[in-house]
A and B are shown apart, each in its own frame.
Chain A
Amino acid sequence: MTINGRATTADVEPRTLLVHLIREQMRLTGTHVGCETGYCGACTVHVDGKAVKSCTIFAVQAEGADITTIEGVASGEVLHPVQEGFWERHGLQCGFCTPGMIMSAIALLDENDNPTDTEIRHGIEGNLCRCTGYHNIVRAVEYAAAKIRGEEPPPPDWESEY
């Protein structure tokens, strides 16, 4: 398989989950293991360009696949617009859900770079944040969408008057 652009091989038991291959054999620990039951989305990676939950895929199923993890989204020192959005709009508190949130947000923006608030919320419906920081996460994705479109992102909430 290819992970973050690098061809790689591994021998695994059939029951090895993709997330464990990524974390323990590839040592890419940015992808998190959260609920382990397919609900929380912390383990979200891209397999052949689609956001999927790596705790609910056997590594053998991904043989030959092109995989992108959170470690593969920045260009060197330059953050991906979604990473920048989470930074600029305080899209995280504890950070545990963040890698999965970012991978889902990137997949959403790949298909639709001008999503409404509702579309953003539906786009990250497979990712749970237990800090309940959804508001700023939505703002972070909104920021990234504007950046990807080449527009000026809306000002942060804390600069607007209520």
Chain B
Amino acid sequence: MYPRSFDYVAPTSLEDAYASLGDDSKVLAGGMSLIPLMKMRLFSPGLVVDIGRIPGLDAIEDTGDHIEIGALVRHAATATSDVVKDNATALATAASLTGDVQVRNRGTTCGALAHADVAADQPAGALACGAVMVVGSASGTRDIDAADFFVDSLTSALEPNEILMSIRIPKAGPGEASAYDKLGRRGGRSDYAVAGAAAWIKKSNGSIEAARVGVTGVGTKPQMAYGVAEALVGTDGSDEAIKTAAERALEGITILEDLYGSEEYKSHLTKVYVARAVKAALAGL
């Protein structure tokens, strides 16, 4: 099963990569989403720009206030990095539950985010952890908040001439923790999310001061559950408070029925997994 013919370049600098990008091109990093799409001929770019040979993009850096995950950091590296596990637990867990061993060895965290699959794990983690997408192009760089990055199914805010160079996540301060949990298509936590949720909590003096909750798998895109976060703030994070807050999980979210569940079932799962993620984040404090 071959893709349609395409031209291929493997630049060794970001500048050369930017210069190659145009309306009919696509960036290739790990290829775990792009190559199957191309093989099934659902997508046939005229030019593939392979960024795999650009040095310096495969690092996870601790910049003091933030951690920065480069464009070529594989899922396996995100999942096992101590600095990510400590500061963005939800993202590390989501990376550990992405695909299978071979996919995690090859696919990249930034690639999974740029691909913007409605059922991918890491977008939920990025939303909850307050990630900022660092986007580059020939005309410079710009930052996009994760909350504004996922536009629609398989559609991010990236322009065709842009590359997601890295993501920047604020380091977890005192009283801050995050977690991710999901139901996978093959049962348990395997495969794409039928429903998944990530939660970030900031707690001080016994009450929740701030929260962010991201959900995936159930709607037209990975998105924030603002109602849940709003309902959590000011509470003590008790099971009762979590249950009440999770009831607001569907606010602003269009639930889509698919092969893996009815609208009713997915609506139910959304609340269940939002509650589990919040509980797990609080347990991580």
Measured between alpha carbons, how far is A51 from B278 in the docked complex, in Å?
A: 34
Contact B100 A36 (CB under 8 A): no
The secondary structure that dominates the A interface is: mixed
- CB contact between B8 and one of A14, A51, A53 (< 8 Å): that residue: A14
Q: How large is the interface on B (under 10, 10 to 19, 20 to 34, 35 or more residues)?
A: 20 to 34
> Is A147's CB within 8 Å of the partner chain B?
no
Chain A residues contacting B38 (CB-CB under 8 Å) are: 15
Contact A14 B31 (CB under 8 A): no
> Is B268's CB within 8 Å of the partner chain A?
no
> Is A4's CB within 8 Å of the partner chain B?
no
> Smallest CB-CB separation from B52: which chain A residue?
A61
Q: Min CB distance, B33 to chain A, in Å?
A: 9
Contact B106 A52 (CB under 8 A): yes
Interface centre among A53, A57, A63 (most CB of B within 10 A): A53
Measured between alpha carbons, how far is A122 from B101 in the docked complex, in Å?
A: 8
Contact B2 A57 (CB under 8 A): no
- CB contact between B1 and one of A36, A57, A61, A126 (< 8 Å): that residue: A36
> Is A132's CB within 8 Å of the partner chain B?
no
- CB contact between A123 and one of B8, B50, B101 (< 8 Å): that residue: B101
Measured between alpha carbons, how far is A108 from B52 in the docked complex, in Å?
A: 25
Query: 13 A-B pairs, CB-CB below 8 angstroms?
Result: A15-B5, A15-B38, A38-B35, A38-B103, A51-B105, A52-B105, A56-B35, A56-B36, A56-B106, A57-B35, A57-B106, A58-B8, A107-B101
- Interface residue ranges, B against A (CB under 8 Å): 1-8, 10, 28, 31-32, 35-36, 38-40, 48, 50, 52, 76, 99-103, 105-106, 190
- Interface residue ranges, A against B (CB under 8 Å): 13-17, 36-38, 41, 44, 50-53, 55-58, 60-61, 63, 104, 107-108, 122-126
Please name 16 further chain A to chain B contacts, defined as beta carbons within 8 Å, in addition to the given A51-B105, A58-B31, sorted by A numbering: A15-B5, A17-B39, A37-B39, A38-B32, A38-B35, A53-B102, A53-B103, A56-B31, A56-B39, A57-B35, A57-B106, A60-B50, A61-B31, A61-B50, A122-B101, A124-B101
